[in-house]
């Protein structure tokens, strides 16, 4: 029994995909086999003026979403050190302002963002501060929604569906469903994690999710080396079904043809993703969880995957007790990961193609609780990172005294942030995706 | 042209037809079970499944609590009120913590319920009962995360199961008295002074008539009034007379001071209702391809008539469907994409693999897009091609590998201690001297696992593979063949 060397197999698979796409473009009437992005760029190559690039802003834009699960303490992330009310509400866990006397809790001082407003980043967000100083970060203050829900599940679903009733498909899923005329694209969105988040689930468009690229494959081949070859032949038969003409042009695809085609896509994606991720990144990443996720995402972007939305997530933010140390650790990981990722993108010269958005399902109560922690709250800051975001601090810090049941009142609706991301960055009609009109928060540079 | 709803000729009920019946009206079975069904003959085989003649499954090992999320006692409410008034943060935090703990316990319980139901589907001697319960769960879709009460989900599951092959009217009336559904579609907030239309709308659009089929916005508004006051107290349905709008209503061209039950009766008088339910049953049991054939359209129409003729009794209609020529026709074999649950349960039941870990199987179902007690929306699972994408394709293939060999995605082999004797799938092929013909074994395995004769190319691939690993038939080689067969795209068809 002979075994083809791996490189050979890779070449063959890549060729298969190329052939597949060429057929797809040539037979435009076979709508079901033409991935929408391919269709668009094919039209672009024909010189459609409406699709021509704007100078300096690449067409193939990418959104990376970073989810902070558990409810990140916004008030200790963007610290309102200029407010005495902050220290009154948080005598033990308050973070001192720059230049203030060392606090009892031995925390270093916040990193000043905007002197006039008296706000600064958590001292461990030095990485994010460096990006901010380079004009790459938008700090959006007081983001939330009306009648805030303090259940992790429900509030996360609200953010992910973009709907206050928390029902239905995800907002990114709907973006793809709307953009692609209902034609799913195999690698449109990728989440790093065991489960794909609801945000990426469309009615038609479904995300790919894997914890590590080595899990996005058939593991039967680990049982016995002899299984790899026949498995590949079986699952690549789709190329014959598509390219070899057993699908009659114009005839509806049978369930079996559909399955064969998807199996082929899966082989090609798997090979491609594992090849991409195996490469050493251009910059060093720290060793923790979020950094590893962003490292994989960076590798896939570098490899030129057609993926438009990536999703990374980090948990542990539900800091009900003794939060100082825990939260400081999380902030360090977050800051270092985001910085390494952005440096990687710059080294790749892909930084103009990517915007990163950081959010959590809610912030935390203004007053600390009896256990040195904070309970579930409401509005909190978001971050947008990239060369195309309008840098600086957006909006006013929410009042620490005009509260709703002890919680901050939001000043910016999260759907206004989504509207800006959709309209300005992804160039999609936000009203259709969000099922309602929301003010565009205007978070990107006018040239974008 | 014949009538596609006519019964299949008795002589045409062969091994393939018996297997098809067991796959569709259940979750498949071993070759021995298929042969047993075949021996009953068409009518008795259908009866056996439709009348739930098999053994009832026990609930052993599972006990659920009904009071994890009990309402606050008056004393507890008073304590909280006083703590708020005096700004006693410690007490407020303690109460909040206790509430959180109860919620965590309830989430653990819904997890156990998922395992309980999946295990039940795997073990039951009445597969159609579980399959219909799953069908109605997707039809009257209710999601745990919205209602956050596991006991209510279990109560609903019980209501669906006891009526699953009974009368559709009882299901429809049951669902508008069901605490989980009343909560899920906000009918607990549907009051005379401020009607909430959610349940009335979905009752017509998704549960009985189908979108836009012979009703209008006005019928929804009036129907919502008929449903006012239907709510629940604790774990019980409660009719809140004070919140019910007892005034006159006009629904679907009828007038009267209708109640919620009257509303259901009026809906069931519409022939559209029988067509809508027949159409959904057809897509679940016969063919889920996007477009129906002419025979398919005809069959749906006749199935709808069978429902009307039996005054919405489901058993007579199902019996006629499972006996019909159309159900058994070639175009409807291997034509449905297995749901994740079907894939898991059918793999265990037909290949006879060990269960290994119900926990892992539940997780696999979630990853493949079918989380029990958590349909994605009130529309239920869209099914068909929506189950399949590049990610779920690997999960499907890997789930089969896990069942056959115990190998998990993370490379460890937990659960592999359970031995799997796959030889039972080929034992009946031994000739008089006890010898197994390799090619015949390969053909038979593939035909059995795929539910129909495999392509020539597939057969050659498998035979060639067997040759490359020694060519003889033994347990390890049969398992290796099964790994490949279950990794074929067409294994996803049923």
Residues 6 or more apart in contact with residue B3 via CB below 8 angstroms: B298, B302
Q: For residue A212, what is the nearest residue in chain B, using CA coordinates? A: B410
Window 63-122 of B, Cβ < 8 Å to A = 89-90, 93, 96-97, 103
Window 331-360 of B, Cβ < 8 Å to A = 334-337
Q: For residue B84, what is the nearest residue in chain A, using CA coordinates? A: A405
Residue B145 confidence class, pLDDT cut points 50, 70, 90:
confident
Q: How far is it, in rounded angstroms, from Cα B388 to Cα B310?
A: 37
Q: Is the pLDDT of residue B444 over 50?
A: yes
Q: Is the pLDDT of residue B417 over 80?
A: no
Q: How far is it, in rounded angstroms, from Cα A1 to Cα A319?
A: 57
Given this model, what pLDDT does residue A249 score? Answer: 54
3-state secondary structure of B1: coil
Given this model, what pLDDT does residue B389 score? Answer: 87
CB contact under 8 A, A186 and B390: yes
**Is the Cβ–Cβ distance between A61 and A426 less than 8 Å?**
yes
Query: Counting beta carbons within 10 angstroms of the beta carbon of residue B255, is it exposed (0 to 12), middle (13 to 18) or buried (19 or more)?
Result: exposed
Given this model, what pLDDT does residue A107 score? Answer: 87
Q: Which residues of chain A have pLDDT under 50?
A: 1-57, 242-247
Given this model, what pLDDT does residue B370 score? Answer: 96
CB contact under 8 A, A186 and B388: no
Given this model, what pLDDT does residue A220 score? Answer: 93
Least confident stretch, A24-38, B262-276, B477-491: A24-38
User: Given its phi and psi angles, is residue B431 left (phi above 0), alpha (psi -120 to 50 degrees) or beta?
Assistant: beta
Q: How far is it, in rounded angstroms, from Cα A192 to Cα A224?
A: 28
Given this model, what pLDDT does residue B415 score? Answer: 61
Residue B414 confidence class, pLDDT cut points 50, 70, 90:
low
The partner residue sitting opposite B483, judged by closest CB among A157, A186, A220, is A220
Residue B458 distance to chain A (closest CA, Å): 8
- The model carries a pTM of 0.84
Strand (E) or helix (H) holding A2: none
pLDDT digits (tens, 9 = 90+) for B218-231: 999 999 999 999 99
User: Phi, psi at residue B232, to the nearest 5°?
Assistant: -145, 155
| Residue B272 exposure: Cα atoms within 13 Å on the Cβ side | 16
Given this model, what pLDDT does residue A13 score? Answer: 26
Given this model, what pLDDT does residue A11 score? Answer: 29
Given this model, what pLDDT does residue A59 score? Answer: 63
Please list, residue by residue across B28-66, b when 16 or more beta carbons sit within 10 angstroms of its beta carbon and e when fewer do. Answer: bbbbebbeebbebebeebbbbbbebeeeebeeeeeeeee
Q: How far is it, in rounded angstroms, from Cα A424 to Cα A447?
A: 10
| Closest listed residue to residue A123, CA positions, set A104, A103, A109 | A109
Residue A164 distance to chain B (closest CA, Å): 12
Within 10 A of B173 (CB to CB), how many other CB atoms are there? 18
| Closest listed residue to residue A378, CA positions, set A159, A152, A150, A160 | A150
Instruction: State the best of A234, A247, A254, A258 to mutate against chain B, taking most chain B CBs within 10 Å.
Output: A234
Given this model, what pLDDT does residue A248 score? Answer: 53
B436: its two tokens: 């197994």
Q: How far is it, in rounded angstroms, from Cα A417 to Cα A419?
A: 5
pLDDT average, residue stretch B405-422: 77
Residue B451 confidence class, pLDDT cut points 50, 70, 90:
very high
* Parallel/antiparallel/unpaired status of strands A208-210 and A189-192: parallel
Alpha helix positions (H), A225-315: 228-235, 237-243, 255-278, 289-302
Residue B361 confidence class, pLDDT cut points 50, 70, 90:
very high
Given this model, what pLDDT does residue A187 score? Answer: 86
Window 367-386 of A, Cβ < 8 Å to B = 367, 369-371, 375
Q: How far is it, in rounded angstroms, from Cα A255 to Cα A212?
A: 30
Q: How far is it, in rounded angstroms, from Cα A107 to Cα A332?
A: 13
- What residue has token string 């045409």? B12
Q: Is the pLDDT of residue B1 over 80?
A: no
């Amino acid at each position: 029994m002979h075994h083809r060397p791996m490189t050979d197999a890779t070449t063959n698979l890549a060729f298969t995909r190329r052939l597949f796409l060429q057929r797809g473009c040539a037979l435009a009437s076979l709508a079901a086999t033409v991935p929408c992005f391919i269709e668009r760029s094919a039209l672009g190559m024909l010189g459609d003026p409406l699709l021509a690039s704007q100078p300096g802003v690449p067409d193939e834009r990418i959104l990376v979403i970073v989810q902070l699960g558990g409810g990140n303490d916004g008030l200790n992330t963007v610290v309102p050190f200029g407010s005495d009310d902050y220290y009154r509400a948080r005598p033990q866990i308050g973070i001192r302002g720059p230049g203030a006397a060392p606090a009892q809790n031995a925390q270093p001082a916040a990193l000043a963002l905007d002197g006039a407003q008296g706000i600064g980043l958590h001292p461990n967000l030095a990485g994010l501060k460096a990006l901010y100083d380079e004009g790459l970060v938008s700090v959006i203050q007081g983001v939330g929604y009306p009648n805030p829900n303090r259940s992790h599940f429900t509030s996360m679903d609200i953010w992910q569906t973009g709907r206050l009733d928390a029902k239905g498909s995800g907002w990114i899923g709907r973006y793809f469903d709307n953009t692609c005329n209902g034609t799913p694209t195999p690698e449109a969105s990728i989440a790093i994690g065991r489960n794909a988040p609801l945000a990426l689930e469309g009615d038609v468009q479904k995300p790919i999710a894997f914890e590590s690229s080595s899990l996005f494959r058939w593991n039967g081949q680990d049982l016995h080396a002899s299984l790899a070859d026949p498995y590949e032949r079986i699952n690549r038969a789709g190329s014959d079904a598509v390219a070899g003409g057993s699908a009659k042009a114009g005839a509806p695809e049978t369930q079996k043809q559909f399955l064969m085609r998807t199996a082929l896509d899966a082989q090609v994606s798997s090979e491609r993703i594992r090849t991409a991720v195996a490469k050493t990144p251009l910059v060093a990443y720290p060793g923790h969880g979020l950094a590893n996720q962003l490292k994989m995402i960076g590798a896939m972007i570098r490899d030129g995957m057609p993926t438009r939305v990536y999703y990374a997530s980090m948990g542990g933010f539900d800091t009900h007790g003794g939060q100082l140390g825990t939260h400081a650790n999380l902030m360090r990981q977050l800051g270092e990961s985001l910085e390494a990722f952005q440096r990687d993108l710059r080294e790749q010269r892909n930084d103009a193609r990517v915007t990163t958005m950081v959010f959590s399902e809610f912030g935390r109560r203004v007053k600390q609780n009896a256990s040195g922690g904070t309970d579930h709250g409401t509005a909190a800051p978001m971050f947008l990172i990239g060369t195309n975001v309008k840098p600086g601090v957006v909006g006013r810090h929410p009042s620490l005294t005009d509260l709703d049941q002890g919680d901050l009142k939001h000043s910016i609706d999260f759907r206004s942030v989504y509207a800006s991301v959709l309209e300005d960055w992804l160039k999609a009609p936000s009203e259709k995706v969000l099922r309602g009109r929301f003010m565009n928060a205007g978070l990107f540079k006018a040239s974008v | 042209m014949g009538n596609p709803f006519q019964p299949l000729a008795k002589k045409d009920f062969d091994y393939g037809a018996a297997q098809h019946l067991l796959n569709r009206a259940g979750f498949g079975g071993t070759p021995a079970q298929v042969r047993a069904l075949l021996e009953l003959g068409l009518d008795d085989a259908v009866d056996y499944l439709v009348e739930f003649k098999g053994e009832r499954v026990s609930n052993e090992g599972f006990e659920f609590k009904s009071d994890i999320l009990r309402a606050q006692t008056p004393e507890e409410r008073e304590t909280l009120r006083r703590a708020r008034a005096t700004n006693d943060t410690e007490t407020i935090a303690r109460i909040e913590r206790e509430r959180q703990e109860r919620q965590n316990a309830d989430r653990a319980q819904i997890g156990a319920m998922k395992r309980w139901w999946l295990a039940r589907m795997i073990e039951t001697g009445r597969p159609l009962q579980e399959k219909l319960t799953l069908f109605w769960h997707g039809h009257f879709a209710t999601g745990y995360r919205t209602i956050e009460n596991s006991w209510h989900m279990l109560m609903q599951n019980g209501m669906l199961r006891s009526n699953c092959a009974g009368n559709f009217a009882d299901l429809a009336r049951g669902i508008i008295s069901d605490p989980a559904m009343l909560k899920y579609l906000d009918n607990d907030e549907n009051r005379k002074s401020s009607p909430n239309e959610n349940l009335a709308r979905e009752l017509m659009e998704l549960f009985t008539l189908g979108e836009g089929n012979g009703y209008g916005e006005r019928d929804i508004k009036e129907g919502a009034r008929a449903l006012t006051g239907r709510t629940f107290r604790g774990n019980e349905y409660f009719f809140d007379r004070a919140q019910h709008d007892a005034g006159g209503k006009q629904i679907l061209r009828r007038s009267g001071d209708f109640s919620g039950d009257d509303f259901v009766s009026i809906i069931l008088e519409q022939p559209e209702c029988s067509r809508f339910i027949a159409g959904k049953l057809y897509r679940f049991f016969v063919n889920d391809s996007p477009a129906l054939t002419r025979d398919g359209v005809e069959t749906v129409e006749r199935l709808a008539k069978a429902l009307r003729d039996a005054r919405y009794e489901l058993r007579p209609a199902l019996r006629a469907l499972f006996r019909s020529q159309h159900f058994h026709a070639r175009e409807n074999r291997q034509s449905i994409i297995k749901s994740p649950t079907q894939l898991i349960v059918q793999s265990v039941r037909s290949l006879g693999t060990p269960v290994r870990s119900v926990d892992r199987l539940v997780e696999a179902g979630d990853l493949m897009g079918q989380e029990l007690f958590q349909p994605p929306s009130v529309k239920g699972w869209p099914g068909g091609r929506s189950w399949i994408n590049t990610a779920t394709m690997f999960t499907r293939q890997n789930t089969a590998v896990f069942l056959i060999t115990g190998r998990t995605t993370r490379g460890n082999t937990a659960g592999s201690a359970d031995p799997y004797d796959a030889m039972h799938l080929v034992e009946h092929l031994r000739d008089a001297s006890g010898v197994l013909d390799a090619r015949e074994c390969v053909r038979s395995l593939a035909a059995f696992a795929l539910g129909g004769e495999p392509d020539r190319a597939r057969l050659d691939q498998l035979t060639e593979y067997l040759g490359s690993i020694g060519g003889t038939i033994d347990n390890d080689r049969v398992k290796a063949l099964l790994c490949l067969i279950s990794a074929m795209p067409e294994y996803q068809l049923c």
